[in-house]
Structure 1
Amino acid sequence: MVWLIDLPQLLSNPFYVGGDSYTGIVVLPLTLVISKGNKDVVPHINLRGYILGNPVIVRKTNDNSKVPYAHRMNLIPTRLYELLRSNCKGEYENVEPDSMECMKRVAAFKKNQSLVNYVPFL
């Protein structure tokens, strides 16, 4: 954001978030964050959309890295991450049916992720 303040002549230029391949996973949520953040900051970024080249937009995996990754990317609150870790003990994909606390936390994580992946048309 500092570069935008330092170069005010660029304020009116259209801004696109772009990426290819696996960055497609990050471009959509990043565009949404910028769009929502524009309401709260001045100067506004002249966001016009996003550009993806040969993107992976949904990563289908059967591993337990989604929860730590979401936490590292600040896509889930630290409190939810801590509850997932303590209740699920690192197993977020194949949760034991008798582990009600873990199932509740995984459901909250999935609900949170469904909101992150939603990007309205700009």
Structure 2
Amino acid sequence: MTMLRLLVIALMVFTVTACSDKPGDTRLKQLLQQQFDAKYEGLVDISNVKKLNGWSDNDSHYAADVSYDVEFKQSFKEYMDKQTAKPGNPLEKMASGMAAGMLKLQYGDFKAGDQYQVKQQTLTLRKTDNGWVLTD
């Protein structure tokens, strides 16, 4: 009888775990880092990601309030110098510079090693065949 109870409890735990397929802190950190790397290659490290809250209207969309730390690996000036020195399309360089300029507006004239805490940001995710992805 004890073995049957253990089996039922294990099955219930497995079922609850399978149904709660929501991204956790680790996956959210990966997604944030990928997003920053795609926009600002090699500029920032994301750490201390904590999901503050999460909700879903359906099985394929999920929203999460998160807090996290941003650490700059290089200064704004260093990053911009590298962007302008790259060979390639001048319009792409300009777009990259404008995106970095938005970070400067948000964080000021950051230097290598500067850290900032994002106290709350809402991330919107979509479930795909390959797992959760950011839609922002």
**TM-score (normalised: structure 2):** 0.27
Higher strand share: 2
* Greater Cα radius of gyration, structure 1 or 2: 2
**TM-score (normalised: structure 1):** 0.29
